[in-house]
Amino acid sequence: MNSSILIIGSAVLFVVAYHTYGKFIARKIFKINPEAICPSSSLRDDIDYVPTRKSILFGHHFTSIAGTGPIVGPAVAIIWGWVPAVIWILLGSIFMGAVHDFGALIVSLRNQGRSIGDLSANVVNNRVRILFLLIIFFLLWIFVAILGVIIGLVFDLYPQSVIPVFIEIPVALWLGYMIYKKGAPHLPLSIIAVIILYIAVAIGAYYPLNINPLASFFGLSPVALWVIILLIYSYIASTLPVQVLLQPRDYINSHQLFIALGLLSLGVMFSHPDFVAPGIDLTPKGAPPLFPMLFVFIACGAISGFHALVSSGTSSKQCDAETSSLSIGYGGMLLEGILAIFVLIACGAGISLGFTDGGETYTGISAFNHHYGSWIGGTGLGNRLSAFIVGSANMLQTIGIPAKVSLTIMGVFIVSFAATSLDTSTRLQRYIVGELFTAVKVPFLARKHPATIIAVVTALILAFYNGSGTGALILFPLFGATNQLLAGLSLLVITIYLARRKTPLRYTMIPMIFMILMTGWAMIINLADYFSTANWLLFSICFMTVLLEIWMIIESVAVLKKI
What is the maximum span of the chain, computed from C-alpha positions, in angstroms? 67
pLDDT for res 199: 92
In the chain, the percentage of residues whose pLDDT exceeds 70 is: 98
| In the predicted structure, residue 509 carries a pLDDT above the cut 90 | yes
Task: Please tell me the class of the 3-284+294-562 domain.
Answer: mainly alpha
Domain boundaries in the chain?
Answer: 3-284+294-562
Higher-pLDDT residue of 378 and 481 is 481
Is pLDDT of 413 > 60?
Answer: yes
From the list 377, 489, 508, the residue with the least C-alpha distance to 119 is: 489
Separation of alpha carbons 341 and 329, rounded Å: 19
Mean pLDDT score, 463-469: 76
Contact indicator for 202, 410 with CB cutoff of 8 Å: no
pLDDT digits (tens, 9 = 90+) for 187-219: 788 889 889 988 999 999 999 988 989 988 888
116-123 and 126-157 helices cross at what angle (nearest 10)?
A: 170
- Mean pLDDT, residues 1-25: 94
**What does the pLDDT average to over 156-185?**
88
pLDDT in tens, 35-54: 999 999 999 998 889 998 89
- What pLDDT shows up at residue 344? 95
Average pLDDT over residues 303-324: 93
For residue 34, the number of C-alpha atoms closer than 13 Å in the C-beta half-sphere is: 1
- Report pLDDT for 2: 82
